[in-house]
């Protein structure tokens, strides 16, 4: 099979049928063998009924996955990726803001230009600039600096992947924002970008609010830490803990040395415990010890984890 199109959705009853008809037209024009996997993320409208009717009319091309509750886009994509059988997997949102006309060029970049992943870039957007466009620019600038991936729109829903990419990454929480970074961590280095059309929403309202930017930064820091120290946490906690402990120890020695020098010179000196630096030094030593022990415990957990050697083998002969 050439292409699997994965469409996560939540309460998009008005747009599901026109989206599928559009995808179907593009596929037939280009003679692609394909499947469309609709992942209904706990919708409370008629979304699932429409997917069922599409399944009746196109039993070979339409597949549906229905969640009992709304679990989020990452979970929807994860199960869609597991079900995908096409050589190239394309994701797009169900709100008709992503154009299926982009599919042939995305497919070409994966199959003929040997990209592992191609992320869409909605260079010209029709969102409200203050509430979405401007924060997105700040968010993407930060993501580029941290991930070292020069993508202008990391969270664009329109992406294309080589099948082995989606089978090699695990999505959870709200990590769908960083699929290109997850692919990079998994060892897929040829990650590209393509300018794609952004269309105005025709039906319903957006499902994302301001909290996604806060959560996005927290998730980015989590991924950065896991990619750097996930397998060797002692290298992070142990190093910082040791440095803080040594600073505290040196400070205690300095405070104690000043007291001894004053006593040897028969000069009246205040009590060591009356100096605020003494307590700060003790606090630093305690914090350093705790961080070191945290790293030690994390290492014990990692050593006993079933995923401690979960590395990707590209070829074996």
Radius of gyration of the chain from Cα atoms? Answer: 27
Q: Are strands 159-162 and 117-121 parallel, antiparallel or unpaired?
A: antiparallel
| Comparison of pLDDT for 75 and 256, the residue scoring more | 75
Distance, in Å, from the CA atom of 164 to the CA atom of 162, rounded to the nearest integer, reads 6
Number of H helices, E strands in the chain: 10, 7
Q: Are strands 34-40 and 62-66 parallel, antiparallel or unpaired?
A: parallel
pLDDT grade for 305, boundaries at 50, 70 and 90 = low
pTM listed for this prediction: 0.72
Q: Two tokens at 132? A: 């979405």
Q: So what's the pLDDT on residue 213?
A: 60
Count of beta carbons in the 10 Å neighbourhood of residue 105: 12
Mean pLDDT of 244-268: 84
Q: What would the pLDDT profile of 118-138 be if each residue is shown by its tens digit?
A: 999 988 776 655 556 666 777
75: nearest Cα among 40, 47, 109, 108? 40
pLDDT at 315 over 70: no
| Comparison of pLDDT for 273 and 54, the residue scoring more | 54
- Mean of the per-residue pLDDT values for the chain? 85
Mean pLDDT of 158-170: 94
Q: So what's the pLDDT on residue 56?
A: 95
Q: Is the dihedral of CA 22, 24, 27, 31 positive or negative?
A: negative
Q: What would the pLDDT profile of 13-25 be if each residue is shown by its tens digit?
A: 999 999 999 999 9
34: nearest Cα among 82, 78, 87, 97? 87
The alpha carbon torsion through 264, 270, 271, 277 (nearest 10 deg) reads -110
pLDDT at 259 over 70: yes
Asked if 4 and 61 count as a contact pair (C-beta separation under 8 A), the reply is no
pLDDT grade for 205, boundaries at 50, 70 and 90 = low
């Amino acid at each position: 099979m050439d292409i699997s199109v994965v469409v996560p959705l939540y309460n998009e009853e008005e747009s599901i049928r026109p989206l599928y008809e559009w995808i179907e037209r593009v596929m037939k024009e280009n003679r692609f063998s394909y499947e469309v996997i609709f992942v209904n993320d706990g919708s409370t409208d008629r979304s699932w009924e429409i997917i069922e009717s599409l399944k009746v009319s196109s039993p070979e091309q339409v597949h549906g996955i229905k969640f009992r509750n709304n679990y989020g886009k990452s979970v929807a994509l994860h199960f869609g990726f597991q079900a995908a059988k096409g050589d190239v997997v394309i994701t797009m949102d169900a709100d008709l803001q992503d154009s299926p006309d982009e599919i042939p060029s995305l497919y070409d970049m994966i199959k003929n230009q040997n990209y592992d992943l191609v992320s869409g870039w909605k260079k010209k957007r029709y969102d409200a600039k203050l509430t979405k466009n401007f924060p997105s620019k700040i968010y993407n600038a930060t993501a580029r600096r941290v991930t070292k991936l020069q993508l202008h729109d990391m969270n664009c829903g329109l992406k294309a992947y080589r099948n082995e990419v989606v089978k090699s990454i695990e999505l959870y929480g709200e990590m769908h924002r960083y699929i290109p970074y997850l692919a990079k961590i998994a060892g897929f280095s040829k990650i590209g970008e393509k300018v794609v059309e952004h269309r105005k929403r025709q039906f319903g309202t957006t499902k994302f609010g301001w909290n996604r930017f806060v959560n996005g930064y927290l998730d980015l820091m989590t991924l950065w830490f896991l990619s750097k120290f996930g397998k060797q946490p002692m290298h992070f906690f142990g190093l910082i803990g040791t440095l803080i402990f040594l600073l505290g120890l040196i400070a205690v020695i300095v405070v104690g040395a000043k007291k001894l020098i004053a006593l040897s010179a028969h000069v009246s000196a205040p009590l060591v415990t009356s100096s605020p630096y003494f307590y700060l030094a003790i606090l630093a030593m305690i914090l350093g010890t705790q961080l070191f022990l945290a790293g030690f415990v994390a290492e014990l957990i990692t050593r006993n984890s079933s995923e401690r050697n979960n590395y990707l083998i590209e070829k074996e002969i």
